């Protein structure tokens, strides 16, 4: 039995209670979930002055994808909504495919955020449902995930200045199809949703056998939400711990080792994971087993290399810094972003480039020890070169009129602890 339509409408309206944008984007593939979302948003907000704009990402991976995008365009036009088709033009060839689903997901978000920016759309609604929550929970149980892995997808997240909102996380896939059937609305079924080569499809097929045991979509999604609440609490205490024992210095995070040793395992783990991500710029956290080894090494004053970062303990202080090897070939013009996190400004630009200082460059900085920063930290910091000649190393006591600044300030490290 499904809940009445008015409950679904109320759920959607509740997601916009705090702020209803004048222009709202919605990503619609043509499948039942996103088609229902488009109709629900129209029913909720079309009469209150909200302009709803629709985007369909055509990945070009199936012969019917173009026709499906045109079907969405027709449905959007009937509702008086503007519609754009976003083509994935740089998709990999057959020999380059790799994890095609993951690449398509990354491309989809990049296309949607770019579309939103170009059209002055601050919020884009996505059609993830309670079923997606339940399936993800089961998939991650199979990987022995911790609290974060088992947590619900967030209701909203910011990406490239655009808010991605998921208004249907409490609504089941079947409820949405009932909603569409009641209004005689069409949708398409992606054939890949029945392809058992994909893990999510196998999990979806197995869920029918779990329901008689009480492991229904609704209950599994509720568990994911409960884990999400636990994650938020752990994130808060991680934030407080970081405020107490960590600082940003020369692009590294410096942690008081004595205080770090007193932290509960989960808080210490989270602090170190987020530190590695912030320093390396990685989107995904390192796997848990090597992170546990890194955590233990830090507690005992040892060194460790992981995820493009080095962990070095000196005088009861652990420096989590960028590893030199991953940035050894990084090159940028002065004033441009280097390694995704630094900008270098100063004198003459012509003929100069920004590269890592490296061990050879450090030899040309006789005063680097005065900063009381480990040499390994400085080796991965930006320096100005003219071919093989070191012009400046702003963080190693050889500024020569140049300065290096982080794109993200130190405060953003701490706020990032609360935003994952």
- Residues in the annotated binding site for ATP: 29-34
- Six-digit token string for 20: 């209803």
Q: Cα 89 to chain center, whole Å?
A: 22
Instruction: Give the residue from 217, 48, 25 showing the smallest Cα distance to 112.
Output: 25
Phi, psi dihedrals of residue 285, rounded to the nearest 5°: -70, 155
CA distance 228 to 237: 15
Residue 187 CA, chain-centre distance (Å), reads 29
**Residue positions forming the annotated binding site:** 29-34
Q: Are 179 and 39 in contact (CB under 8 A)?
A: yes
Task: Strand 353-356: give its sheet, edge to edge.
Answer: 353-356, 382-386, 389-392
The token pair that represents 44 in the structure block: 């909720």
**Distance set, CA 180 to CA 82, 126, 159, 329 (Å):** 21, 17, 30, 54
What ranges in 79-158 are assigned the alpha helix state H? 100-118, 130-141, 147-150
Question: At a CB cut-off of 8 Å and minimum separation 6, what does 14 contact?
Answer: none
Q: Report the sign of the C-alpha dihedral through residues 410, 420, 8, 4, in that order.
A: negative
Task: Give CA torsion, residues 282, 287, 288, 293, to 10 deg.
Answer: -90
Block residue for tokens 């004198």 = 347
Single out the residue of 6, 76, 86, 9 nearest to residue 40, CA to CA: 9
Q: How far apart are CA 398 and CA 43, in angstroms?
A: 63
Helices (H), 183-255: 199-210, 217-245
* The pairing of beta strand 123-125 with beta strand 23-27: parallel
SS3 (DSSP) at 125: strand
Q: Using DSSP bridges, classify how beta strands 317-322 and 353-356 pair: parallel, antiparallel or unpaired.
A: unpaired
- Residue count of the chain, please give it: 420
């Amino acid at each position: 039995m499904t809940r009445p339509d008015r409950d679904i409408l109320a759920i959607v309206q509740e997601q916009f209670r705090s702020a209803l944008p004048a222009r709202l984007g919605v990503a619609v593939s043509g499948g039942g979930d996103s088609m229902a979302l488009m109709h629900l948003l129209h029913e909720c907000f079309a009469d209150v002055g909200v302009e709803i704009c629709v985007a369909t990402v055509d990945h070009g991976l199936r012969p019917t994808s173009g026709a499906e995008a045109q079907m969405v365009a027709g449905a959007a036009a009937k509702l008086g909504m503007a519609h754009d088709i976003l083509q994935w033009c740089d998709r990999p060839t057959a020999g380059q495919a790799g994890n095609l689903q993951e690449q398509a997901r990354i491309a989809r978000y990049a296309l949607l955020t770019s579309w939103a920016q170009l059209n002055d759309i601050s919020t884009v609604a996505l059609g993830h449902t309670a079923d997606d929550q339940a399936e993800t929970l089961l998939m991650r149980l199979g990987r022995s995930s911790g609290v974060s892995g088992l947590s619900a997808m967030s209701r909203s997240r910011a990406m490239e200045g655009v808010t991605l909102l998921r208004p249907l996380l409490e609504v089941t896939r079947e409820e949405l199809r009932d909603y569409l059937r009641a209004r005689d609305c069409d949708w398409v079924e992606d054939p890949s949703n029945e392809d058992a080569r994909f893990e999510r499809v196998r999990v979806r097929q197995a869920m029918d056998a779990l329901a008689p045991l009480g492991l229904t979509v609704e209950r599994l999604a509720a568990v994911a939400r409960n884990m999400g609440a636990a994650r938020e609490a752990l994130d808060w205490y991680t934030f407080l711990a970081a405020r107490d024992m960590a600082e940003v210095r020369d692009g590294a995070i410096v942690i008081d080792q004595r205080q770090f040793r007193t932290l509960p395992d989960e808080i210490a783990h989270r602090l170190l994971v987020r530190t590695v991500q912030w320093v390396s710029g990685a989107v995904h956290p390192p796997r848990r087993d090597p992170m546990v080894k890194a955590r233990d090494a830090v507690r005992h004053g040892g060194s460790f290399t992981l995820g493009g970062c080095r962990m070095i303990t000196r005088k009861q202080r652990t420096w989590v810094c960028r590893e030199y090897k991953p940035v050894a070939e990084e090159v940028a013009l002065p004033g441009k972003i280097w390694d995704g996190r630094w900008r270098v400004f100063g004198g003459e630009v012509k003929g100069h480039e920004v590269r890592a200082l490296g061990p050879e460059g450090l030899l040309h900085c006789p005063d680097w020890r005065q900063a009381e920063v480990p040499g390994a930290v400085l080796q991965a910091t930006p320096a100005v070169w003219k071919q093989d000649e070191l012009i400046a190393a702003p963080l190693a006591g050889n500024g020569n009129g140049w300065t290096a600044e982080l794109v993200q300030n130190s405060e953003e490290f701490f706020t990032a602890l609360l935003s994952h």
